[in-house]
Structure 1
């Protein structure tokens, strides 16, 4: 029983009026598609719901089953033929009361249902618009969230690349520093070697100078000794000469 079926039952009540509802026969069908237990449960639900058949049944309407057989059709028709005819409410309002159809209870009910349908359509439209707006806002939030996440991801990637580049730069600085340190050590070693070589050269030169000075000194001393020896020889020779001269005299 959809909303349309319920509205149709409301219209039926307005057309027939409360006095003629006892002439209504409500026929249920498709019994061959369900089990007896399931069909009976649905039948009880229809018969006991105020929004469905209960109000009509309380006013004297009858519920019958159509089993899709000729016998059940005959039973329904015989039931209907046994009812005395009555005047419908809409007939009384139009003929006896002189109302136009739109002013009858059925017409007013129809207008009310149309207005309700319009309000329901407007409500659904507003809900759809609200839902659409919420979906758009949710999509915008999701897009903004994705944008933020993408920015954050890009930022993290940039920071990671910057960290790697900084690490590589630091390694290169450390490598260059190590190269400079090794070069400085090598330079210092070369400097010490050169200084040691210069010191050795100076020592050699100094030793050579000392040797040369010693040789010169020895030569001088030898010359002096020779000079003294010659002088002594000359003196002795002179003395000898003088001595010889004295002997002759």
Structure 2
């Protein structure tokens, strides 16, 4: 997790040899929750999950929260817990701006305090700064209450990613043996049966929406006063410019208000679509397993009838056995992966070591 452009997708591609889309600027290429190729590390199978930031350029914060929450809710329902969470931050940033602060607030609401021992804050892009400058910024991030100190005090850890596969593997090893725990939003949605709007993450999002709306309302009052003055001064050009600005602010305010209203409706709608897709995937996988089981039975009957085990029969039966097992795994993985092909953009197997 982390803001747009902090190197999440690049990190995943580097260590897992996946091919997730990577942006070259501030525009996000992570349009949905996505899964890396599963890869081995120290005898474990690891799958990394990529998420868009709450400053995503293609989706609203409401859409991003819905995608992440839906993925986490359904994976937890299927018994899959995260072994750890990596939060990415650019050490090259001159200061921690509003976007980074907002992303981290949402991150904390999603995780809660009880899982912070499984959180690793990853500072990235060290090649873009002098080592001393980066080290000074790192120390400030660790020591200041307005940055990462509160979560580090509660058990989170911090490390550097040096943009090499070895560095990425080192980071994953630091949380590979963690005891998997449910995140706060998973407990809220599944264990406590809260609606999405009752979760801490949604409350934080709505608080931000309300602050933005209030700020826009203050600006609009100032604009109206300036427009009235322009009318008195018969300054038509200024009045028209102010009117255009006022309409733009009005649309922005309405967008925030609509985002807040549609949060629960969209979440329930997407959940229904997802559950329907899961049922379809399970049905298709069961049908596939039944077909290969029928093939195996026919081969066995044929072999017994001929009173001999010929190599072709044995090879065919072995192939059918593998296909049946593959179909069964697909059925299980499809359930664990929440039918993510249609909604979240990636189908993920339920291997241990899930991040």
Indicate the structure whose relative CO is greater, using CA pairs within 8 Å and at least 6 residues apart: 2
Tell which structure's C-alpha radius of gyration is larger. Answer: 1
Structure with more helix by fraction: 1
